[in-house]
A and B are shown apart, each in its own frame.
Chain A
């Protein structure tokens, strides 16, 4: 809550907390431009930050449990690369493949292509996962699929028009601020559905902590639960990546940070904690990114990596090993 208000208040134009409150509650605001900034720019951005942080953190948690690997996350397993691939095909593929990109217009086309891309990569990773029991091999395969898709993206970029390329590059920087209220509501719908599926899977997730064999003998409908978890992950990571760009590290780092604070593996407690932790981290990162009292807004992707990477390194050094 404090983070939420601070995020609304700070930026290139500092708005006093008192006026933030007034604007939110429909009261009198000292300057009308402030009210406009709050309601049409900072509020949707803050909501996007909350959804992005929470959603990525949840998909990280789901992946870490499903693959029983502390390094798993939407980024490492190539899910984000898959989303990038989908978006690249959508934005850049038009020229390269000779088809008009405007067929599926608007945000829905972007979100559909990103979701399909991430879902596709996850299906590949899972198809391999069912054959290969070694989770380390799986991570390497996720990374390989990631490099493969980025290679295809480069080829697409080579053949595409300058303005399309620019659109893609700006998307890949990650941004929380480009969303209209319509975009925010689409994102909210995807987020809500993803979280609802995750809540439905809570019991299976706890069983997966014991491994596939134990989960099966506990009466879990294994393949159905696995598919649901993957659908939830790709919906969350896919929609967020589509709207806000590929945002690194949040998915990997937040579940580990939360486990430091709350010593439990029970997903009924972990899931809401991770949602809260992810939202807070993202709001903080976004507040840093918009640099209070300056004209600049840094790419959010850079900030999450700058904040996230040292945290993971610090955890590894302190705990000697990461656990899922």
Chain B
């Protein structure tokens, strides 16, 4: 195995994602080949329905790939048992019917499930990791509050804390900044950046905030017309991939300032 390959946390080769129907498969996106390394913050962008969520769900093992391979830490995910996969990959999803009656601490503690015994008993090591996850996401101060008492931004931080408590090399987030105002968007992004760059995790998140993703991410996956481009933000801008993201009649992209503007 080459040295290059050893460092890849997530590797997909000609991956095709979608839904397998009874008569024929519905392909949402195909030919996705990406390689994510340690300490990388990677954005996943594309218009609605381009397959961002489908890709994340497929990588997370929540749905089967139509074709192609997914490797995590150099091993195909088909070779992982559910609990070992849970120790390698954690997710933050939106729109899940989670029990809002959970306290913040209880919710974050659930992240330790892949490591605990059959009753889910927390060891001192588990407790210190939970405390660390709460501190890193600045949620320690309201750890005893119920989830229904939290604002959207706070809940998002708590869900990220849960993923951190799961202590995995790879963290996938599905639109972690939706429904948040500018300030909270920025703080979540900064949190993700520090998780990647300071704690050495690999973070892959989907977002509609393309401008921020281009500014902050090390690499970006652009999903467009059933295909995926994977490169550095700079290269994607130079290649004109971002310009073609939206119909030029409605939205214009300025390469210099990395800004979109509405065509008047």
Interface positions of A (Cβ within 8 A of B): 65, 68, 135, 200, 202-203, 206-207, 209-211, 213-214, 216-221, 259, 263-266, 268, 323-324
- Interface size bracket, B side: 35 or more
Q: Which residue from chain A places its CB closest to the CB of B174 in the assembled complex?
A: A213
Q: Which residue from chain A places its CB closest to the CB of B89 in the assembled complex?
A: A217
CB <8 Å contact, B148 and A211: no
Task: Known pairs A202-B120, A218-B166; list 19 more (Cβ under 8 Å).
Answer: A68-B99, A203-B116, A203-B120, A206-B110, A207-B110, A211-B98, A213-B60, A213-B96, A214-B110, A217-B62, A218-B86, A218-B110, A219-B83, A219-B84, A219-B113, A263-B146, A265-B102, A323-B100, A323-B101
Given A203-B116, A203-B120, A323-B101, are A210 and B85 neighbors across the interface (CB < 8 Å)?
Answer: no
CB <8 Å contact, B93 and A213: yes
Cross-interface CB contact of B107 among A202, A203, A210, A263, cutoff 8 Å: A210
CB <8 Å contact, B98 and A216: no
B12 on interface, CB distance cutoff 8 Å: no
B139 on interface, CB distance cutoff 8 Å: no
A125 smallest CB distance to B (angstroms)? 17
CB <8 Å contact, B98 and A210: yes
Cross-interface CB contact of A210 among B84, B86, B87, B96, cutoff 8 Å: B96
| Complex Cα gap A218–B85 (Å) | 8
B1 on interface, CB distance cutoff 8 Å: no
CB <8 Å contact, A217 and B90: yes
Interface positions of B (Cβ within 8 A of A): 57, 60-62, 81-87, 89-91, 93, 96-103, 106-107, 110-111, 113-114, 116, 118-120, 146, 148, 166
Kindly list chain B residues whose C-beta atoms are within 8 Å of the C-beta of A217. Answer: 60-62, 85-86, 89-91
16 pairs from A and B in contact (CB 8 Å cutoff):
A135-B97, A209-B98, A210-B110, A211-B96, A213-B57, A213-B60, A214-B91, A214-B93, A216-B62, A217-B89, A217-B90, A218-B110, A264-B103, A264-B106, A265-B103, A268-B120
CB <8 Å contact, B82 and A216: yes
CB <8 Å contact, A216 and B120: no
Q: Which residue from chain A places its CB closest to the CB of B107 in the assembled complex?
A: A210
CB <8 Å contact, A207 and B113: yes
Kindly list chain B residues whose C-beta atoms are within 8 Å of the C-beta of A265. Answer: 99, 101-103, 106
Cross-interface CB contact of B101 among A207, A213, A324, cutoff 8 Å: A324
Kindly list chain B residues whose C-beta atoms are within 8 Å of the C-beta of A203. Answer: 113, 116, 118-120
A262 smallest CB distance to B (angstroms)? 11
Kindly list chain A residues whose C-beta atoms are within 8 Å of the C-beta of B84. Answer: 219
A80 smallest CB distance to B (angstroms)? 24
| Complex Cα gap A217–B110 (Å) | 11
Kindly list chain A residues whose C-beta atoms are within 8 Å of the C-beta of B83. Answer: 219
Most chain A CB within 10 A, of B84, B100, B116, is at B100
Kindly list chain A residues whose C-beta atoms are within 8 Å of the C-beta of B62. Answer: 213, 216-217
CB <8 Å contact, B114 and A219: yes
Cross-interface CB contact of A220 among B60, B82, B99, B103, cutoff 8 Å: B82
| Complex Cα gap A210–B155 (Å) | 13
A320 smallest CB distance to B (angstroms)? 11
Given A202-B119, A213-B93, A266-B106, are A218 and B100 neighbors across the interface (CB < 8 Å)?
Answer: no
Kindly list chain B residues whose C-beta atoms are within 8 Å of the C-beta of A221. Answer: 82
Closest 4 CB pairs of A and B: A219-B86, A219-B83, A209-B99, A211-B96
Given A217-B86, A219-B82, are A324 and B91 neighbors across the interface (CB < 8 Å)?
Answer: no
CB <8 Å contact, A209 and B102: yes
CB <8 Å contact, A68 and B101: no
Q: Which residue from chain A places its CB closest to the CB of B163 in the assembled complex?
A: A217
Cross-interface CB contact of B91 among A209, A213, A219, A259, cutoff 8 Å: A213
Given A203-B116, A264-B106, A268-B119, are A214 and B98 neighbors across the interface (CB < 8 Å)?
Answer: yes
Q: Which residue from chain A places its CB closest to the CB of B118 in the assembled complex?
A: A203
Kindly list chain A residues whose C-beta atoms are within 8 Å of the C-beta of B89. Answer: 217
CB <8 Å contact, A206 and B120: yes
Q: Which residue from chain A places its CB closest to the CB of B80 in the assembled complex?
A: A219
CB <8 Å contact, B110 and A209: yes
Q: Which residue from chain B places its CB closest to the CB of A259 in the assembled complex?
A: B101
Kindly list chain A residues whose C-beta atoms are within 8 Å of the C-beta of B166. Answer: 218
Kindly list chain A residues whose C-beta atoms are within 8 Å of the C-beta of B118. Answer: 200, 203
CB <8 Å contact, B98 and A219: no
B112 smallest CB distance to A (angstroms)? 9
